[in-house]
């Protein structure tokens, strides 16, 4: 098994190959990711069978996690766009918030939605509105991609009940209520900083939003009203949120039939399927045949997104079979930074996130590495475990790139190329992580 600097070199070469292959050689990202996953696995010392098992396992798990969600989300988005409903909703929002605040509105919407909803699912659900706002305002899709994705990302990583911060708080024995309170507090500057970057990148990187196809019967069938268009977007969010509340340790909905029902309909797959049926009801005046055609278009779009995202998941799964996580942890666990010891868990989580792609895995792995070190770091008492949890959460944002399935969801649903994805998603996630670290350090010096 390859170890030490050679393993990091293999990873760097693999990422460089993806960028060059997709930009200069015009190789499809799906193929580039699979070739890289094989190559990195074998070059890291995995046996052919082990590399193949990791690749296919990671691919299958990713499809299982996001396949139905993305498919249903694309059907909902296509139907709302083709019927004209998404544009009606965008116009209504702009009348309320003003065109100059559209980016801020999407940042805040993403931050609210992602408290109970995974950021991948949230981006799929809100993409139709994001694209319609970009078209309606004439602004670059790049800015809206940053605004929505980083709003989602901030609370996904910093605020329970998403699995990463919950598991980290549990491992470090941090007070969950305080993690939620201070996580929300730190999420505010993260959302604001990435909103400012969204405005910057929107002015300097022009990306046209994916254009909607032709709208059958547009001249005779009116678009659905704004509140009806909002319903298929809002319903899955509310159902998933209800399940998240029901799953809290206090079990507010009990342990009986109500919780079972919420567990069923609040699962993202079930929630999006129900959203599809509600979409059909909203656009029913266009006829069943037309809705069937729109569903087919949405599924064709979903196929590419799912395959590329799953290939990214396969790449991340192969990396997790290598000793990367242990090497990063061992290399950083012996550092001592004095009053800035909170930087250590941040750096460990950032190294793992950048190496293996998953924010949740980076958080959980870092928590297991850092937990026995808390007394030596002076973080085992008082607010120490809470701040260490949030430092790990901030590090898990650093940075999203080609081995992260969220990177591919954003780029593919926003019409971004791989280089544009690095400029939009990777840089923005770096800003988010560093802002979170700054927030944690400020809280430490004020409260500790």
Task: Give me the tens of pLDDT residue by residue for the chain, a chain 448 residues long.
Answer: 666 678 878 888 888 888 788 878 888 888 988 998 899 889 888 899 999 999 999 899 888 888 898 899 889 888 888 888 877 877 887 788 787 888 998 998 888 888 767 788 888 888 888 888 898 888 999 999 999 999 999 998 998 767 788 888 888 888 877 888 899 999 999 999 999 999 999 999 999 887 765 554 444 788 888 888 888 888 888 888 888 778 777 777 777 888 889 889 988 889 989 999 999 999 999 889 999 999 998 898 888 888 887 888 888 888 888 877 667 666 655 666 666 788 888 988 898 888 778 888 788 878 877 877 788 778 888 888 999 999 999 999 998 988 888 999 999 989 999 889 999 999 999 999 999 999 999 999 888 6
Nearest in space to 191 (alpha carbons), one of 234, 152, 240, 245: 152
Q: Is 156 exposed, middle or buried (0-12, 13-18, 19+ CB in 10 A)?
A: buried
pLDDT at position 103 is: 92
Residue 142's pLDDT is: 95
Instruction: Please report the DSSP string for 265-309 in residue order.
Output: HTSHHHHHHHHHHHHHHHTGGG-HHHHHHHHHHHHHHHHHHHHHH
Q: Which of 55, 161, 114, 79 is nearest to 409 (CA)?
A: 114
Q: Is the pTM of this model over 0.85?
A: no
* Predicted pLDDT of residue 234: 84
* Residue 337 confidence (pLDDT): 63
Phi/psi at 191 (5° precision):
-65, -40
Q: What is the pLDDT of residue 194?
A: 96
Instruction: Note whether 245 and 253 are within 8 A (CB).
Output: yes
Token output for 286: 């266009």
In our burial notation (b when 16+ CB lie closer than 10 A, e otherwise), range 170-180 reads bbbebebebbb
pLDDT of residue 432: 96
The pLDDT assigned to 10 comes to 85
SS3 36: helix
Distance CA 70, CA 269 (A): 9
| CB 443, CB 186: distance < 8 Å | yes
Burial of 245 (0-12, 13-18, 19+ CB in 10 A): middle
């Amino acid at each position: 098994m390859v170890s030490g600097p050679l393993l990091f070199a293999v990873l760097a070469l693999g990422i460089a190959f993806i960028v060059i292959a997709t930009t200069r050689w015009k190789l499809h990202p799906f193929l580039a990711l699979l070739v890289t996953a094989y190559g990195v696995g074998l070059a890291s010392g995995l046996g052919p069978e082990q590399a193949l098992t990791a690749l296919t396992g990671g691919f299958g798990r990713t499809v299982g996690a996001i396949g139905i969600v993305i498919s249903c989300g694309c059907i909902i988005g296509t139907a709302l766009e083709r019927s004209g409903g998404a544009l009606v909703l965008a116009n209504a929002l702009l009348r309320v918030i003003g065109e100059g605040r559209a980016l801020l509105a999407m940042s805040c919407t993403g931050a609210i939605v992602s408290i109970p909803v995974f950021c991948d699912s949230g981006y799929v659900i809100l993409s139709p509105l994001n694209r319609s706002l970009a078209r309606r305002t004439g602004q670059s899709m790049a800015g809206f991609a940053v605004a929505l994705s980083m709003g989602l990302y901030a609370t996904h990583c910093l605020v329970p009940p998403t699995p990463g911060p919950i598991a980290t708080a549990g491992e470090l024995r941090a007070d969950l209520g305080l993690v939620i309170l201070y996580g929300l507090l730190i999420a505010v500057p993260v959302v604001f900083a990435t909103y400012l970057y969204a405005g910057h990148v929107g002015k300097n990187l022009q990306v046209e939003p994916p254009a909607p196809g032709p709208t059958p019967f547009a001249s005779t069938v009116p678009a659905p009203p704004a509140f009806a268009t909002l319903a298929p977007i809002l319903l899955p969010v509310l159902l998933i949120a209800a399940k998240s509340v029901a799953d809290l340790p206090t079990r507010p909905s009990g342990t009986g039939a109500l919780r079972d029902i919420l567990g069923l309909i609040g699962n993202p797959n079930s929630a999006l399927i129900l959203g599809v049926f509600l979409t059909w009801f909203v656009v029913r005046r266009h006829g069943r045949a037309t809705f069937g055609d729109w569903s087919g278009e949405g599924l064709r779009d979903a196929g590419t997104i799912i395959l590329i995202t799953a290939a990214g998941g396969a790449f991340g799964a192969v990396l997790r079979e290598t000793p990367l996580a242990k090497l990063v942890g061992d290399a950083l666990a012996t550092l001592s930074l004095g009053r800035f010891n909170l930087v250590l868990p941040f750096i460990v989580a950032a190294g793992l996130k950048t190496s293996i792609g998953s924010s949740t895995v980076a958080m959980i792995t870092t928590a297991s590495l850092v937990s026995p070190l808390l007394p030596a770091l002076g973080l085992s008492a008082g607010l120490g475990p809470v701040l260490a949890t949030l430092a790990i959460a901030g590090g898990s944002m650093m940075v999203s790139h080609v081995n992260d399935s969220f990177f591919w969801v954003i780029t593919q649903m926003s019409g971004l190329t791989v280089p544009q994805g690095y400029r939009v998603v990777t840089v923005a996630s770096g800003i988010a992580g560093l802002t979170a670290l700054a927030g944690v350090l400020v809280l430490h010096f004020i409260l500790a």
